[in-house]
Structure 1
């Protein structure tokens, strides 16, 4: 924007201060609020949505639209910010209240969503008028958004840098670990809408046919269409549950057997617990979060599966139980930076920092030591994280093995994971990457970034 346009932006257009009944505006209010809250507080979008959405009183369609706007904004935040900043000569005005998140939400609609430009611009302008700080810049916002709409093709055509929507520290980390070409492929894949996968208790081929889904080589089913999950055949009967194809692999490596005693540490939300229980093993699900375990319990009840549920920190639980706690196998899905889930949860890229990762590394080490003490001689331990960072995966296991000579790695074989040899690293561990597992379309391709290592107590 030129200086003249910027000055004009400080003059408020004549609009009502509040427009409660304008269709679509409440959804935009929630979307902008979510964007603002997540970036300021560095909290997860899903948790922020669950906390804030009820107070907006939206119907299901408007609530879904608000969430879609926010998710799209985070998925393409780098492109959106670059487009806005390139057209504001003097930068975003100071003390402008919700000006920036409102513009980001509107830009997400204009550039990436199937929303008429005039609706996105008009509702954003009405929204700007509702706050005295942002209302001074209505003309500036109006001119900027209309320019984004006019120049949309050029903006998208110029967004060639594969790392434009990736924070610098993450791009550098992935280049150092995977090389520039693979790192770029990961970053580009994160721009796509993620697939939706399910795990079934039995008759996987039959359910793939009934649901019209794709049977993946890993044994998961990938749904072709985006539909209401609860309305699909088999949901009410507890035949299946939603679980990313990569997230289902660690239990395949654990290979639970009927009658075995297995501990699932940091178990919530419970997809892996369900897999273990469906195998006929006796599973103890441990997690310190009561609310998350309540969801786990509700899901098990829907599925008709059983587990012993322990609401406690896994380290404290192991220390209290001592030698009395001994299991045939232990699964530790450790808390992590979750950078392997950025495609499904794009806010992760903008809410996590290297410092967050490093704090989690220390926690993971303590949890892994405790998990090892729970494994009986000859038993199995699978450590996994939904992180792309080697500090939380490969390096964590290397340190554990160097300090615990009573454990050895049991290498993953390709037949255990549907022949996906590209997902096995040089050490014999599982390392899935978002751009792997190519399908018919971008949305039917890829899976989460996961690391898993299988260890055996000697």
Structure 2
């Protein structure tokens, strides 16, 4: 074990990955920057591209583990710190979080986890005064942290209190604890295939889910997997793949896909034979949608516009995949748990209502509207549809039958809507279990 007084070596193996991970975690927790924006695109951390593939994968896993287990980590560290977290150094706290995450859940020797966290603290002017603290606390964590982590797990500490209270009120305490347990595990990769799901499941060392998606435990660069360059499949959570299937036979029908980017549902609609018009207000996201469709050799009319203001001749069907708090996707995007707050719900429900009103206006008589969100909040799902049905007398609900979701009755609400939870689709391997939390309702215009 190096002395806490050892000068930091920025070329120590794995140090660069941990330094970048610390930067990204700080940006999420302090500056409230989304994780995806820091990993890819024009706002990505400038040093990410300089990492080797191995270090890039390590950095991503470090960040995801800290954010996915943040509540547990804070609980464990609070029990090991006599005076609480250093109040004047975020980097000292982040060094502790990273070190403890590696000790508790990652295949990293304890001495290496402590050593590199000490170096992180040494390399920061404000954190340097806490080098001895970081060293001592992480040594204790190696001895005592496992038992403390088990205590935290019983409290579902990795779900923010405001979310836990909301979910308990709507889904019940037991189900909420099951959701919390599911979110703690890094999920497998889900893909939607054009055809031959069983063949692609074998090629990707995965399995075909009851709903038709292929799930593989493979991780790493998606672009390197068989079939990607050939456009045989696209990445899409199993729950996200369900709403676009609720229209039935779409061959020859006109469909508007509102808020369409990055294009997973657009691809499904086009693959089903629909004439798709994909609408999104973000030019950057539209570019990604175009790139995805080009790789998949699928076509759609692309429109850059605000869907709440865009007008068009009536469509046979409209899909509204509305912007939402995305609390159903925390298992794949763990930063959401710590970026979102209760006030975001009210802000987004107004936008969702405007999108729904616009969708009704552009729907032909007899046409079908599918509304969906990747949120677990009832205001963005069940209550939004209830409000729409009360205000639009021409609409009626077309209940979804369990046969449309592989006979999984637990995915259908009493009213006939789709409601998936992260704790559903159990599996002996927790990494292969679960799916995102989604809501979808099917409505028909009289």
1:21-420 pair list within 5 angstroms? 21-50=11-40, 51-56=43-48, 57-226=50-219, 228-318=221-311, 321=312, 325-420=313-408
Of residues 250-259 and 349-358 in structure 1, the stretch that sits farther from structure 2 once superposed is 250-259
Stretch moving more, 156-165 or 404-413:
156-165
Following TM superposition, by how much is the alpha carbon of 1:102 offset from its aligned partner in structure 2, in angstroms? 1.6
State the match for 2:444 in structure 1.
456
Cα displacement string for residues 312-334 of structure 1 (whole angstroms, at most 9, x for unaligned residues): 1101213xx4xxx2100000000
Q: Go from structure 1 to structure 2 and tell me whether the alpha carbon gap of 1:64 and 1:212 turns closer, same or farther (over 3 Å shift).
A: closer
8 A contact 2:20–2:47 mirrored in 1: no
Aligned to 1:5: none
TM-fit CA distance, 1:97: 4.7
Deviation at 1:256, TM superposition (A): 4.8
Name the CA distance, whole Å, in 2 between partners of 1:355 and 1:339. Answer: 13
Contact kept in structure 1, 2:402 and 2:412, CA below 8 Å: yes
Counterparts of 2:16 and 2:200 in 1: how far apart (Å)? 39
Q: What is the count of residue pairs matched by the alignment? A: 441
SS in 2 for 1:90: coil
- Cα distance, 1:194 vs structure 2: 1.0
In 1: Cα distance, 2:247 partner to 2:344 partner: 29
Per-residue CA deviations over 1:395-440 (Å, capped at 9, x if unaligned) read 0000000000100000001111100100000100000111111123
Answer yes or no: is the 8 Å Cα contact 2:76–2:152 preserved in 1: no
- Map Cα deviations across residues 22-55 of structure 1 (whole Å, 9 max, x no partner): 1111111111111110011222211122334333
More displaced stretch, 37-46 vs 199-208: 199-208
Greater shift, 254-263 or 203-212, is seen at 203-212
CA distance, structure 2, for counterparts of residue 365 and residue 149 of structure 1: 51
Question: How many Å apart are 1:189 and its aligned residue?
Answer: 0.9
Deviates more, 1:149-158 or 1:301-310: 149-158
Cα drift, residue 268 of structure 1 = 0.8
Q: What is residue 432 of structure 1 aligned with on the other side?
A: 420
Distance in 2, matches of 1:147 and 1:184, equals 28
What is the deviation of 1:127? Answer: 1.4
Q: 1:425 to 1:162 in 2, by over 3 A?
A: farther
Conserved? CA contact 1:270–1:296, under 8 Å: yes
Compute the displacement of 1:13 (Å). Answer: 4.3
Q: 2 CA distance for matches of 1:212 and 1:141?
A: 41
1:295-314 CA distance string (max 9 Å, x none): 11111111100111111110
Aligned residue runs from structure 1 range 13-24, under 5 A: 13-16=4-7, 18-24=8-14
Which stretch shifts more, 376-385 or 47-56? 47-56
Indicate the SS of the match to 2:166: helix
Q: What is the TM-score normalised by the length of structure 1? A: 0.93
8 A Cα contact 1:38 1:48, kept in partner: no
Q: SS where residue 18 of structure 2 aligns?
A: helix
* 1:7 corresponds to: none
Task: Return the offset for 1:158.
Answer: 2.1
Query: How far, CA to CA, are the matches of 2:170 and 2:21 in structure 1?
Result: 35
Per-residue deviation at 1:63?
Answer: 1.7
* Alpha carbons 1:237, 1:302 under 8 Å: kept: yes
Deviations 1:62-82 (A, max 9, x none): 122111101000110001001
C-alpha distance in 2 between matches for 1:142 and 1:100: 12
Looking at structure 2, the residues matched to 69 and 206 of structure 1 have their Cα atoms a distance apart, in angstroms, of 33
Distance 1:417 1:22, change over 3 A: same
Partners in 1 of 2:11 and 2:205 — Cα distance?
A: 40
RMSD: 1.5
Q: Find the aligned partners of 2:356 and 2:295 in 1 and give their Cα distance.
A: 31
Which residue of the partner structure matches residue 442 of structure 1? Answer: 430
Shift of 1:188: 1.1
Q: TM-score, normalised by structure 2?
A: 0.96
SS of the equivalent of 1:316 reads coil
Q: How much does 1:224 deviate? A: 4.0
CA contact (8 A) 1:254 1:331 kept: no
Give the 3-state SS of the residue equivalent to 1:435 in structure 2.
coil
Gaps of 5+ in 1: 1-11
Contact persistence 1:332–1:371 (CA under 8 A): yes
